[in-house]
Amino acid sequence: MQYQTITLEIDGGLAVLTLNRPDKMNALSAQMRAEITHAMTDAAKRARAVVLTGAGAAFCTGQDLGDAGGGVPDLERILRDEYTPMLQAICNCPVPTLAAVNGPAAGAGASLALATDVVIAAERAYFLQAFTRIGLIPDAGGTWFLPRQVGLAKAMGAALFADRISARQAERWGMIWEAVEDAEFDAHWRRRAAYLAEGPTQAFAAVKTALRGSFDAGLEEQLATEAQLQGACGRTRDFQEGVVAFVEKRAAKFEGR
């Protein structure tokens, strides 16, 4: 598929999906949402880790408010038919996903970043739940991701006041994994992404399954899940290689899938 609003590069097991509407601050159009959904599905089959990032000065400033052609948008239909498949493609991706937030992540753009497994942001970046400024509520999963990551009190304040949350503040809150100095950002997220792409893919998938499912499980159920997933991991070649590499005091060379 030829993409018009994004780019997808896959090299050495690492897929980098770049939102590529820098003149629009990478605002999400209907075409971009469809292309992200397709690219994520494709990358999940061909790569061992996927990075989402933005071209230009912004990561993503949310919904392109001019995309409706001047008419009144059917927000319920757009969220159900366009955003939901895109977010499911990200959240259900079997390999690790990383958002390299290079600049502002606002509205649905913030939700897009928070849908990934790990968020690394440049210091210049910020997160903004801008919805109430135009009479809306956080969407694209914002009401699900935020309270789980920062707690109800901070999620409520971020949604009601629509204040900018700096990358460093987001790191302190636990909203993201880490904030990185601007000069080091590109090299840093690429190192992190390479680590994921070279790691034990099946174990990473099991980690995602266990952690995401834990919110809906009691302790007994979660212990049973851990046992089942750990048993499966223990039967992989990656586990055998990891043990041998540990004994031999060398870096493991995981096969992945």
* In the chain, where the domains are located: 6-197, 201-248
**Three-class secondary structure of residue 57 per DSSP:** coil
Equal fold, 6-197 vs 201-248: no
115 close to 66: Cβ distance less than 8 angstroms: no
Question: What's the pTM?
Answer: 0.93
Neighbours of 141 (CB within 10 A): 22
The CATH topology of domain 6-197 is 2-enoyl-CoA Hydratase; Chain A, domain 1 (3.90.226)
Residue 3 CA to chain centroid, in angstroms?
A: 20
pLDDT bin (cut points 50, 70, 90) of residue 67 is confident
Q: Whole-angstrom Cα distance, residue 189 to residue 204?
A: 18
* Residues making up the chain, counted from first to last: 257
Residue 172 CA to chain centroid, in angstroms?
A: 18
Q: Whole-angstrom Cα distance, residue 239 to residue 203?
A: 9
159 close to 165: Cβ distance less than 8 angstroms: no
In percent, how much of the chain has pLDDT > 90? Answer: 92
pLDDT bin (cut points 50, 70, 90) of residue 257 is low
In percent, how much of the chain has pLDDT > 70? Answer: 98
158 close to 152: Cβ distance less than 8 angstroms: no
Residue 163 backbone phi and psi in degrees, to 5: -80, 150
Residue 83 CA to chain centroid, in angstroms?
A: 14
The model's pLDDT over 212-236, given as tens digits with 9 standing for 90+, comes to 999 999 999 999 999 999 999 999 9
The CATH topology of domain 201-248 is Lyase 2-enoyl-coa Hydratase; Chain  A, domain 2 (1.10.12)
115 close to 90: Cβ distance less than 8 angstroms: yes
Average pLDDT (2-21) is 96
The model's pLDDT over 30-47, given as tens digits with 9 standing for 90+, comes to 999 999 999 999 999 999
pLDDT at 71 over 80: no
229 close to 210: Cβ distance less than 8 angstroms: yes
Residue 182 CA to chain centroid, in angstroms?
A: 20
Give me the pLDDT at residue 73, please. Answer: 80
